[in-house]
Amino acid sequence: MSDTFSLSFPLKTHDGDVTELKLKAPRAGALVKYNDPFQLKPIKNENGEQEGFEFVFNNKAMMQFLSDMTGIDDLLLADMSASDFMRLRGVAANMILTAVPDKNPSKQPVA
């Protein structure tokens, strides 16, 4: 699984300007090495019933994940615009979550 992300502004790398980032699916080792890049916090309505969730990002861990997923050093990724980073971390979070089974954690997802 991979995804391509278009940057709003070019990113200067050792290989020249980059306008798109190709993201590879993250590996389990990244979780161990960098910690969780986000947590899901339940959103409850006024009756106390869960009606959704929101992401609570660990930006430092997410930057490390993005470096692993793109192959671009985190020091170079740090120069991307804040809006690109906000959108890119959402794409990465969705890629991570697509590999997680919805209801039965013992059922393996089909890749």
Residue 109, pLDDT score: 47
Degrees, nearest 5: CA angle 97-98-99: 85
Look-up: residue for tokens 């391509």? 4
The answer to whether the beta carbons of residues 68 and 27 sit under 8 Å apart is yes
Residue 15, pLDDT score: 87
Residue 111, pLDDT score: 43
Which residues of the chain have a pLDDT value below 70?
Answer: 99-111
Which runs of consecutive H residues, i.e. helices, occur in 1-111? 28-34, 59-70, 74-77, 82-98
Residue 108, pLDDT score: 47
Residue 82, pLDDT score: 97
Q: Which DSSP state fits 99?
A: T
CA pair distance 51, 48, nearest whole angstrom: 9
